[in-house]
């Protein structure tokens, strides 16, 4: 195997962000590390490469420059209001959450800045909640987009891996798929698995699973950083919280590459590891089919500003907090009461200012460009080129000059769920009628005005309130939205040192975990709801803990 002649102290399975961070920390402590992944070198960094690079950070210079007053106390209150921890096994997740929030308001930013990360100056306001002050959601904008998006998060750690490999302290073993943990006297002593045939599949594409050999490797400790279950829709369905969300949709699109297969969860369980909170998941309502797919069933998430009108499959406009960008799981539950898909209806003015797409490849200006590219893409005429491409080529997009044509074409797209044009029109007319005064009873219009009180939203994310049916704001656009699978909020039960626990809550000697495989820390440090930017953050935080303790 690739690691012959190298005797590791620690084996890390999974070379995504959490694995790289854990490897770096362990090498700094003088540990010899073998970092393996079932994918090839072209996939180093895992999902984080594809991410938008949005990081939850608190009380930062970027926030202060935008006039945002934030604090660790407010962030913790928001976190607990969102997490709603209510299970005995939430003790470790809660401890991890408290530790992370303190870190995100303290050492996180200086540490990342020291590694070379920088952030876009307009802080985003993701997942606003929109119900009660003590409930779910971010009271203030905290979503810091890294320059370079996901590639900008991965690059410094990928460079560190190369440096550590050059000094001989780290060995990278690609196309090594772990299928079993080696147990001796009740302790995890190593990893066994398959060596896969090399693949030149581009990053993110399916790479094949042809086996050309087997391996067994021993070490004092094993850290699992194998990611979540988002691409394994059978597992998503198995753990779907029907009691809280309703039945899982029959059709879902995939927001992650297919190596996010979740197979390690069962492998670890059969070695004695405990899994908790597997029914807690974070899937998105605003998924669109990628017209230019990279991985199977590839979906992209729209990161919407607050103005699009949101209708369920029956054509009923959804009530607050089921507004774009406010409360992901409440909206998912509401959508599933009426069908499987939902609809945005909006204007050209809204798409130009408010539509962003999640993913590094959908934001070339922020990923590869400089200031000039960003200004041109975000403040110039039209939506960003990536959004315009979806408008033109995406299977879920419809553009029309008048409402009747729009609804006719919506009905052609979903013939099993025909919409009544009169019903849709009446709701939009009523909504447009609320614009006469600078105050209104319509919660969405009030929310739009609230968003525009924040400079960042007024500048690049929230269109001036305007009548949807006024042709001057058109053409009209409808977008069919699909449920898109993404993040696992539960997983391996671990403690504040990153040690994996058994189902009885005892330490399973020799086994550690970090990142999405352990619900981003502890077995689910988000509880029921995420505040966004907390997934990469959780990989960084829990990766450090595991690397410092294994």
Ligand X SMILES: Cc1cc2nc3c(=O)[nH]c(=O)nc-3n(C[C@H](O)[C@H](O)[C@H](O)COP(=O)(O)OP(=O)(O)OC[C@H]3O[C@@H](n4cnc5c(N)ncnc54)[C@H](O)[C@@H]3O)c2cc1C
CB 54 within 8 A of CB 142: no
Angstrom distance (rounded) from CA 448 to CA 457: 9
When asked if residue 523 is in the footprint of ligand X (CB under 6 A), the reply is no
- Pick one of 48, 158, 468, 478: the residue that binds ligand X (CB under 6 A): 48
When asked if residue 539 is in the footprint of ligand X (CB under 6 A), the reply is yes
Nearest distance, CB of residue 285 and ligand X, angstroms: 15
- Pick one of 12, 33, 35, 52: the residue that binds ligand X (CB under 6 A): 52
Angstrom distance (rounded) from CA 259 to CA 175: 12
When asked if residue 328 is in the footprint of ligand X (CB under 6 A), the reply is no
CB 496 within 8 A of CB 92: yes
CB 466 within 8 A of CB 393: no
When asked if residue 35 is in the footprint of ligand X (CB under 6 A), the reply is no
Piece in contact with ligand X (CB under 6 A), picked from 25-33, 51-59, 281-289, 419-427: 51-59
When asked if residue 33 is in the footprint of ligand X (CB under 6 A), the reply is no
Per CB under 6 A, contacts with ligand X among 224-243 are: 225-227
When asked if residue 23 is in the footprint of ligand X (CB under 6 A), the reply is no
Q: Sheet containing 33-37: which strands, arranged edge to edge?
A: 170-174, 33-37, 10-13, 221-224, 507-513, 499-501
| Length of the chain, in residues | 550
The closest of 126, 127, 151, 208 to 175, measured between CA atoms, is 208
Per CB under 6 A, contacts with ligand X among 97-156 are: none
When asked if residue 255 is in the footprint of ligand X (CB under 6 A), the reply is yes
- Pick one of 53, 204, 394, 524: the residue that binds ligand X (CB under 6 A): 53
The token duo for 96 is: 């991890």
Nearest distance, CB of residue 531 and ligand X, angstroms: 10
Q: How many of the other CB atoms lie within 10 Å of CB of 423?
A: 14
Nearest distance, CB of residue 350 and ligand X, angstroms: 22
- Pick one of 8, 11, 14, 289: the residue that binds ligand X (CB under 6 A): 14
Between 352 and 532, whose beta carbon lies closer to ligand X? Answer: 532
Between 16 and 152, whose beta carbon lies closer to ligand X? Answer: 16
When asked if residue 15 is in the footprint of ligand X (CB under 6 A), the reply is yes
- Pick one of 34, 264, 268, 273: the residue that binds ligand X (CB under 6 A): 264
- Pick one of 109, 164, 177, 239: the residue that binds ligand X (CB under 6 A): 177
Piece in contact with ligand X (CB under 6 A), picked from 52-60, 330-338, 394-402, 409-417: 52-60
Q: How far is CA 161 from the centre of its chain?
A: 24
Binding string to ligand X for residues 468 to 487, with x set by CB under 6 A, is what?
-------------------x
When asked if residue 263 is in the footprint of ligand X (CB under 6 A), the reply is yes
CB 492 within 8 A of CB 224: yes
When asked if residue 516 is in the footprint of ligand X (CB under 6 A), the reply is yes
CA atoms within 13 A on the CB side of 296: 11
Number of amino acids touching ligand X (CB under 6 A) = 42
Which residues are bridge partners to 284 per DSSP?
484
- Pick one of 119, 125, 326, 535: the residue that binds ligand X (CB under 6 A): 535
Angstrom distance (rounded) from CA 538 to CA 515: 6
The token duo for 486 is: 């993404």
- Pick one of 38, 289, 363, 529: the residue that binds ligand X (CB under 6 A): 38
User: Which run of H or E residues covers position 276?
Assistant: strand 275-276
Maximum distance among all alpha carbons in the chain?
A: 76
196, 215, 550 from 261: Cα distances, Å: 16, 21, 25
Q: In this structure, what DSSP letter does residue 465 have?
A: P
Contact residues: ligand X, CB under 6 A: 13-19, 36-39, 43, 46-48, 50-54, 177-178, 225-227, 255-256, 259-260, 263-264, 358-359, 487, 515-516, 533-537, 539
């Amino acid at each position: 195997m690739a690691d012959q002649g190298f005797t590791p102290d620690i084996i890390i399975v999974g070379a995504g962000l959490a694995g790289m961070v854990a490897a770096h920390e362990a090498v700094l402590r003088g540990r010899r590390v073998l970092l393996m992944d079932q994918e090839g070198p072209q996939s180093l960094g895992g999902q984080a490469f594809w991410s938008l690079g949005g990081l939850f950070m608190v009380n930062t210079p970027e926030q202060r420059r935008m006039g945002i007053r934030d604090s660790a106390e407010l962030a913790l209150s928001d976190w607990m209001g969102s997490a709603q921890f209510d299970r005995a096994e939430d003790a470790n997740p809660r401890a991890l959450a408290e530790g992370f929030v303190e870190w995100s308001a303290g050492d996180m930013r200086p540490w990342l800045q020291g590694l070379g990360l920088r952030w876009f100056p307009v802080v985003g306001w993701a997942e606003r909640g929109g119900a009660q002050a003590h409930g779910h959601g971010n009271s203030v904008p905290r979503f810091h987009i890294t320059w370079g998006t996901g590639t900008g998060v991965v690059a410094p750690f990928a460079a560190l891996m190369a440096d550590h490999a050059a000094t001989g302290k780290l060995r990278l073993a690609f196309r090594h798929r772990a299928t079993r943990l080696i147990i001796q006297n009740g302790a995890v002593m190593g990893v066994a698995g398959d060596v896969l045939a090399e693949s030149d599949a581009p990053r993110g594409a399916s790479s094949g699973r042809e086996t050309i050999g087997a391996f067994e490797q021993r070490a004092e400790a094993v850290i699992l950083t194998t990611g979540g279950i988002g691409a394994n829709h059978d597992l998503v369905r198995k753990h779907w919280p029907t009691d809280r969300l309703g039945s899982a949709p029959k059709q879902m699109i995939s927001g992650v590459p297919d190596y996010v297969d979740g197979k390690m969860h069962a492998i670890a369980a059969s070695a004695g590891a405990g899994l908790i909170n597997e029914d807690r998941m974070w899937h998105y309502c605003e998924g669109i089919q990628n017209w230019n797919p990279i991985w199977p069933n590839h979906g992209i998430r729209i990161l919407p500003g607050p103005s699009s009108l949101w209708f369920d499959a029956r054509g009923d406009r959804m009530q607050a907090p089921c507004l774009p960008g406010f409360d992901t799981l409440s909206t998912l539950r509401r959508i599933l009461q009426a069908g499987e898909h939902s609809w945005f209806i909006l204007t050209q003015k809204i798409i130009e200012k408010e539509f962003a797409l999640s993913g590094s490849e959908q934001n070339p200006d922020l990923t590869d460009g400089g200031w000039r590219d960003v200004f041109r893409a975000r403040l110039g005429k039209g939506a960003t080129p990536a959004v315009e491409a979806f408008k033109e080529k995406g299977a879920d997009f419809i553009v029309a000059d008048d409402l009747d044509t729009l609804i006719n074409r919506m009905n052609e797209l979903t013939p099993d769920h025909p919409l009544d044009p009169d019903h849709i029109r009446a709701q939009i007319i009523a909504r447009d009628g609320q614009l006469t005064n600078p105050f209104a009873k319509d919660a969405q219009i009030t929310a739009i005005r609230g968003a525009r009180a924040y400079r960042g939203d007024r500048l690049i994310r929230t269109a001036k309130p305007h009548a949807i049916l006024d042709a001057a704001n058109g053409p009209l656009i409808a977008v069919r939205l699909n449920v898109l699978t993404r993040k696992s909020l539960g997983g391996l039960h671990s403690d504040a040192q990153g040690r994996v626990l058994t189902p009885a809550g005892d330490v399973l000697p020799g086994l550690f975990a970090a990142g999405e495989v352990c619900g981003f820390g502890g077995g689910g440090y988000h509880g029921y709801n995420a505040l966004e930017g907390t997934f990469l953050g959780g990989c960084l935080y829990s990766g450090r803990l595991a690397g410092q303790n294994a």
